[in-house]
Structures are given as C-alpha cells and as structure tokens.
C-alpha cells in the first residue's frame, strides 16, 4: 500500500504527468482504490470516463475528417478500452502510486488492468475538476497521442459478423444465416457451436465460443477466411 506522505502524489504528478496540482485531495482520491480506507476513486473514475471519451472523440474528429460516425466510434472504443488505458498507466508506473487495501495488495492489484485503467480515468477526472478542461485536454493529448498514431485502419476494427455482412452486401448477396448446432456444459460455463452459411456461395463454416455471440463471430471469421481462399 502506498504510504501517506506530504510529497505524495505531488512529485509524481509534476514529474510524470506534467500536472501542477492545486487541490491535493482530488489526486489522493484518484489514486485510492475502493479496497483501501478513506475516500476512493469511483466517483472520479465515473467523471473521468466521460471527460476522456469527449476529448478522444474530439481528437479523432479532427484527425480523421473523412471517417464516418461508425468508424470514429470504433476507433474511440479501441482507444478508451481497458487494455490500452492500462498500458498507458503501466508506462507511467501508476501502479506504484496506488493506495490499495491489504487484500488487493497481496493479490497484485497494482498490476491489474481494470484497477490501472480506472485509476487513470480517475486522474483525468481529478485534473478536469482541479485545473479545468484545457488542462485535461493537454493531458489526454499527451497520453493518447502515441496510441492514436498506432491505430489500425477503422475497417480492421469491425467485428467479423459486420465485415462478412458488408462483404456480402457489396456483392449483392443475401445475408448469412447462423444456426446453433450444439450447446454443452453447465449453465454457468456453456459452450456453443454455431454454423454460418452463405447459400449463394455454397460456403459454410463452424464456430465455437463461450456464448452464442462469440461462436457466431468465430464462425463468421472462418467463413471470411474461406472467401479469401476461394
């Protein structure tokens, strides 16, 4: 657990985030997980999530002037998802600054992606409340800039079912059909087997997954692979 000290977290904020804090209590809360005693970061995470989404949407809107609403939504979802946010937090050594309860500390909570991502959003919320929208924008642009530069094409972010549907529609063909062929396992751990068929092309592929949706996505990807090889 992070010890309470007069310099925490001011030095880290200044040196790592380039933030000059005014209301220290906001940042202390942002870095305090609910498992620890005292004010925690849940409310700030709620606020920071909205601020982050707004600012990332603005960045994408300006960077990709020709992209559709759907493409921009997929790109934003990629940037603000748990994995990328946790990667940013790790690059900042944010986990070393967290206050965690003893249970989370013992189980390595300072490395858990969900905790790191939530804390990063909470910090953005704290900056917004303490220093305003422009300071939050500057922070988000510094943190999200490298991620945005590494984004794949929006087309690559579409899920397999969407890509298959668009491929078929582009060729004037009927939509694929999905059939659940088998469900096995206990109710809390089911396994689905699904068949995806495109009758006009005489192509079909099977997929599996822990839910019907995942099995359908798997089958759609396999059918796309068949189309590529045809």
Q: Which two tokens stand for residue 202?
A: 């005489």
CA distance 42 to 31: 10
- Catalytic residue of the set 45, 49, 104, 216: 49
Respond yes or no: is residue 218 known to be catalytic: no
- 165: buried, middle or exposed (CB in 10 Å: 19+, 13-18, 0-12)? middle
Specify the length of the chain in residues. Answer: 230
CA distance 124 to 116: 13
Respond yes or no: is residue 10 known to be catalytic: no
- Catalytic residue of the set 45, 97, 121, 193: 121
Q: Which two tokens stand for residue 69?
A: 């609403």
Neighbours of 222 (CB within 10 A): 19
Q: What sign has the CA pseudo-torsion 54, 59, 65, 69?
A: negative
CA-to-CA dists, residue 67 to 60, 75, 137, angstroms: 9, 10, 22
CA distance 150 to 128: 26
Catalytic residues: 49, 121
């Amino acid at each position: 657990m992070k010890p309470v000290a007069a310099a925490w977290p001011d030095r880290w904020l200044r040196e790592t985030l380039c933030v000059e804090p005014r209301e220290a209590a906001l940042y202390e809360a942002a870095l305090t997980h609910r498992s620890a005693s005292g004010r925690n970061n849940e409310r700030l995470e709620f606020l920071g999530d909205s601020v982050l989404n707004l600012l990332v949407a603005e960045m994408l809107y300006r960077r990709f002037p020709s992209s559709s609403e759907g493409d921009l939504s997929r790109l934003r979802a990629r940037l603000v998802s748990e994995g990328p946010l946790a990667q940013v937090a790790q690059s900042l050594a944010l986990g070393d600054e967290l206050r965690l309860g003893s249970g989370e500390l013992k189980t390595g909570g300072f490395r858990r992606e969900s905790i790191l991502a939530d804390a990063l959003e909470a910090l953005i919320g704290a900056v917004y409340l303490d220093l305003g929208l422009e300071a939050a924008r500057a922070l988000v642009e510094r943190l999200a800039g490298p991620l945005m530069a590494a984004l794949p094409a929006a087309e690559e972010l579409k899920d397999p079912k969407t890509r298959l549907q668009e491929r078929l529609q582009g060729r004037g063909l009927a939509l694929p059909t999905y059939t659940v062929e088998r469900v096995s396992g206990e109710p809390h751990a089911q396994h689905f087997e699904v068949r995806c068929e495109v009758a006009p092309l005489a192509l079909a592929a099977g997929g599996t997954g822990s839910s019907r949706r995942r099995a359908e996505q798997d089958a759609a990807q396999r059918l796309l692979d068949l189309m590529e090889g045809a």
